[in-house]
Amino acid sequence: MGKIWVLHGPNLNLLGRREPDKYGTQTLDEINKELLHKAYTAGIPIQVEQTNFEGELIQWIHSMGPDDFLIINPGAWTHYSYAVRDAITSVQVPAIEVHLSNIHAREEFRKTSVIAPVCCGQISGLGGKSYSLALDYALEALTQK
């Protein structure tokens, strides 16, 4: 059975104090604790990481196995990182792109994702619940393999 990877991109370490009107008051630690608890309860291994360095994120993606599942919030890399996109396609694992805010209701540049086309889905605009819903899907996908 594979592992679920939850990868958080740049500036997400500031959740809870970073523009709470857009991103809410829930901290990244609070989101991660919920995800870890849910995965452990389901008996599925999970690894949760956050970085502000694109190369580090790509290295984690490269280390994924064929039975793994990726939940990714690429942050600002969503809109321009072909390197992250190529890393996801290179490892050929199912992936869901997650965003706390509704990227389609924000600035024009945020409405375009270069990552979404290589993912099986995108969940945005539901705050921390976006991650929880993505995890539900990943757990179901891994337990049906």
Known binding positions for substrate: 73, 79, 86, 100-101, 110
CA dist 90 → 25, 57, 82, 85, 95 (Å): 35, 14, 12, 9, 12
**Known catalytic membership, residue 23:** yes
Residue with the two structure tokens 């969940």: 123
Radius of gyration of the chain (CA): 14
Q: Which residue in 23, 37, 82, 131 is the catalytic one?
A: 23
Q: Which residue in 40, 82, 99, 131 is the catalytic one?
A: 99
Distance CA 50, CA 107 (A): 24
Catalogue the active-site residues.
23, 99
